[in-house]
Amino acid sequence: MIFASFEFLFLFLPIFFAAYFITPDRFRNLTMLAFSWAFYAWWRIDFLGLLVTMTLFTYLVARAMDRVGPKSESGFRLMLFGLIGNLGALAYFKYANFGVATFNQILVPFGQDPVPWDEIVLPIGLSFYILQSVSYLIDIRRGTVPITKSFLTYAAYKAIFAQLIAGPIVRYAEIADELKSRHHSLQQFGAGASIFMVGFAMKTALADTISPLVDAVFHLAAPTLVDSWIGAIGYTLQLYFDFAGYSLMAIGLARMIGFHFPQNFDNPYLAGSIQDFWRRWHMTLSRFLADYLYIPLGGNRKGPIRTYVNLIIVMAIGGLWHGSSWNFVIWGLWHGSLLATHRAWSRRDGATKLPYVLGHVITMLAVLIGWVIFRAKDLDNALSMYGGMLGRHGVGMSDELAWQATPDRLWFIPIAILFVYLPLLARKRTADAPPASAFWRVLSAIGPLAGFVMGMVLLYSREAVPFLYFQF
């Protein structure tokens, strides 16, 4: 069950809202937890067992830290125990297959038989709720979050269905007060519904319409120049509208029940540099990597060389977090190298900032190149796409793609590009005219609803498409 499905919109959500709002305030966390666990169990009941186990484990470790003193030596050892338990579970479920496959590849040249291994299924949302546990334990050690003595409160935090599967990565301190008591009003519910509808439209009308074309290109053995660039640009747009759409839907759902989740995207495809891009893309993950990896490694406090190394290490780990594949490691190294290069360039003697347009074009080209290996199923697939982008397999659209390049799929690419740059037009309009003009008031009022209706029509005409970040 996903947000952009009829089961969620017309079965789960109405029942949840009815139960939630008739529940007395002091029991609403219990209602939210019960429905969140039911939402998660919809995929597989055994996945729920792992979620509950890891929740209980982290809660008990935190309580033990509270008893001995979080900043004591015993508190430190307990924190390490909790981190090892959580990261160990993540390593087993997410990276064991990758590790065994890599080890078997090493054995081949030596004539050794591969290690027998049954593939492990990755529990959905594992990466996100493990990161929440990691941040909770570290923040307790740092003394920046209160330790909750209520298992119900902590379990509700871990399991809020709005963000359980793919974020945003919400830290406990960000909603600690709202877990105790939160404000509800018709105005806030309406604001959340509007945010949800915008995200729904981004997912169903834009990302899902482009998706079949992207899949077709990345399945071609030898994509041409036109094929490859359609696929690369299409995926660049699909990933943004899919993940940003999910984030907005999660933020909107949370707002409807009184929570204020952190923003996860800030028009990243308007960035004027790669550093600016990472300030805008998946912002909760960027902050997590900065606070729990980059700064503890020394950040930029130990000289330029160490700073560059730290950037590359952190981004490589960030790439590996996305998936157990060398593709993701290379993608992380690519962005780490870009960030290090940008930092070195901007700090050279006599450095001047690039004009926005030039910096934006360079940044988007670098991001697009990275998304190709991020999307490719393996390195051979990525190399084939890069070869196609250079024209090594011909120029015009291939026959294999032509029959799938229907007008609706092709036309939604420039429409998606328009929506990427629409904020720039809106800012210019705001500067030229009063922001409260009737046109903009009407647009902000009917735009989300119109997009939601269009998304519903499109959803009715095809199967629901899972969110891309569900696989991470």
Active site residue 183: no
β-strand partners of 392: 394
The one catalytic residue in 183, 219, 322, 342 is 322
70 phi and psi angles, rounded to 5 deg: -55, -30
Amino acid letter, residue 36: S
Contacts 24+ apart (CB under 8 A), 43-46: 43/1, 43/124, 44/123, 44/124
SS (H, E, C) the chain: CCCCCHHHHHHHHHHHHHHHHHCCHHHHHHHHHHHHHHHHHCCCHHHHHHHHHHHHHHHHHHHHHHHHCCCCHHHHHHHHHHHHHHHHHHHHHHHHHHHHHHHHHHHHHHCCCCCCCCCCCCCCCHHHHHHHHHHHHHHHHHCCCCCCCCHHHHHHHHHCCCCCCCCCCCCHHHHHHHHHCCCCCHHHHHHHHHHHHHHHHHHHHHHHHHHHHHHHHHCCCCCCHHHHHHHHHHHHHHHHHHHHHHHHHHHHHHHHCCCCCCCCCCCHHHCCCHHHHHHHCCHHHHHHHHHHHHCCCCCCCCCHHHHHHHHHHHHHHHHHHHCCCHHHHHHHHHHHHHHHHHHHHHCCCCCCCCCHHHHHHHHHHHHHHHHHHHHCCCHHHHHHHHHHHCCECECCCCHHHHCCCCHHHHHHHHHHHHHHHHHHHHHHHHHHCCCCCHHHHHHHHHHHHHHHHHHHHHHHCCCCCCCHHHHC
β-strand partners of 394: 392
> What are the angstrom distances between the C-alpha of 252 and each of 198, 275, 420, 443?
9, 28, 20, 19
CA dihedral 150, 152, 154, 156 (to 10 degrees): -160
Amino acid letter, residue 333: L
Residues with a catalytic annotation lie at 322
